[in-house]
Amino acid sequence: MALVAVGVSGGISAYKAVEVVRLLQKAGHEVAVVMTRAATRFVGPLTFEAITRRRVITSQWTPGANADIEHIALATDAALFLVAPATANTIARLAHGLAGDFLTSLALATRAPVLVAPAMNTHMYDHPATQANLDLLRSRGVHFVEPGEGYLACGWVGKGRLAEPEAIAAAALRLLSPVRDLAGRRVVVTAGPTFEDLDPVRYLGNRSSGRMGLSVAADAAARGADVTVVLGPTSLEPAAGLRVVRVRSAREMHTAVVGLRDGADAIVMAAAVADYTPAGGAAGGKVKKQDGPLTVTLERTVDILADLGRWRAGRAAPVLVGFAAETSDVLAYAARKREAKQVDLIVANDVSQPGAGFEVDTNIASFVTAAGVQSFPLEAKTALAARIVDFIAGRLSAGAPRTPAQGDQA
Ligand code: CTP
């Protein structure tokens, strides 16, 4: 049994936090509720007080609240700090370290893992300011329960609805007793685009953000793996605790992966690697414009995944996972890619569908393995990442040999 601090901020879905608290209690945990002033306009503190049988903290200015330096005591005692719902304003304050109320002071004072369940109007969620704040928190190791899509209380339809209480409680319980099924395993994940330089100022790139690969890396690390991310040029910040090797071109990515493949238990090629690069490399000086059209000759890059597949043939490890982004005949192309590249799993998705592919944080994927196809509904990339890591953990526990990790006893 652990003590969970639940921070409730002022959104219409604050009432759902009541059910989250009950579910945490049902799982045997004790809950202390902290509310922002705005939250108390949506749900009465008395409701939480009655079900938690603890004083609900709504302000640091309440007489007596400082006698035991309450936020420090709760900060030390809590095994998890869950913020549900987290409004755009609360997320911004958490991201920037503001500490103007009890909830945000607690966030700064605690060393416990922090889990945030955002809820807001869909345009507020999509706003670059909110997205940048979410990225900032993610890069500091804050965990999230992605909001759902659908009809919002404000009357709009879109992403921003607080995740269901069951999903929030399940995520909290996972953090309270983390699965460490990849402890001692080494995982390499590539993520992001590659840029192929044409000259000192221009390049050929693609729209990959790196979000899918970074989610896989974060999930594997949370489950105890020693994770190295080979990261192409992207503005996303990798989660805390990952080893990061930054690369630019397909060639650099290939060199980095070859350097890491020995001793890896699994390699996930989530990067969108360029298939072509300017023949002969980038021009030394800036290419000047001419009157007529410009012809650039491109040559093939090394297919890193296929190269790994050839190298792995005859070996028991690592588990190899690739992606296939398609716009038609998704499963047929993916099955062909899996065989041609000799990999264990191809995560296939139709990038022409809304909610799938680049620059969004959801995906609609199918797993293509030697055993067949398994398709999943639209879901957060973090949820798909967990499935991919489940697949890897399953393969490893089914017999891929464990390679000794640094610091392991011989
Ligand atoms: N990949 C790679 N090296 C490359 C290109 C792709 O390792 N030079 C990997 C990607 O990381 C991904 C998978 O291969 O895991 C994608 O397969 P690919 O056949 O390249 O897909 P597309 O780029 O979509 O190719 P195509 O145009 O043939 O559909």
Q: Is any atom of ligand 1 closer than 6 Å to the C-beta of 350? A: no
> What CATH number belongs to 186-397?
3.40.50.10300
Please give the structure tokens belonging to residue 121: 């109007």
Tell me: pLDDT of 122 over 70: yes
Tell me: pLDDT of 42 over 50: yes
The pLDDT score that the predictor gives to residue 63 is: 58
154 tagged catalytic: yes
12 and 113 Cβ atoms separated by less than 8 Å: no
Q: Is any atom of ligand 1 closer than 6 Å to the C-beta of 209? A: no
How many A from CA of 6 to the centre of ligand 1? 43
Nearest CA, atom 17, ligand 1? 324
Catalytic residue among 51, 154, 244, 245: 154
- pLDDT for 319-347, tens place per residue? 999 999 999 999 999 999 999 999 999 99
Instruction: Please state the φ and ψ torsions of residue 313, each to the nearest 5 degrees.
Output: -50, 130
Q: Provide the Cα torsion 168, 151, 141, 395; round to 10°.
A: 70
Please tell me if the domain spanning 3-176 has the same topology as the one spanning 186-397: yes
Indicate the top mutation candidate among 268, 337, 345, 349 to test ligand 1's pocket, ranked by most ligand atoms within 8 A of CB.
337
> Across-strand partners of 365?
349
pTM: 0.75
Q: What is the CATH superfamily name and number for domain 3-176? A: Flavin prenyltransferase-like (3.40.50.1950)
Domains of the chain: which residue ranges?
A: 3-176, 186-397
Each residue of 70-100: b (16+ CB within 10 Å) or e? bbeebbeebbbbbbbbbbbbbbbbbbeeebe
Tell me: pLDDT of 262 over 90: yes
The mean pLDDT of 198-226, rounded to a whole number, is 95
The pLDDT score that the predictor gives to residue 387 is: 94
The pLDDT score that the predictor gives to residue 35 is: 97
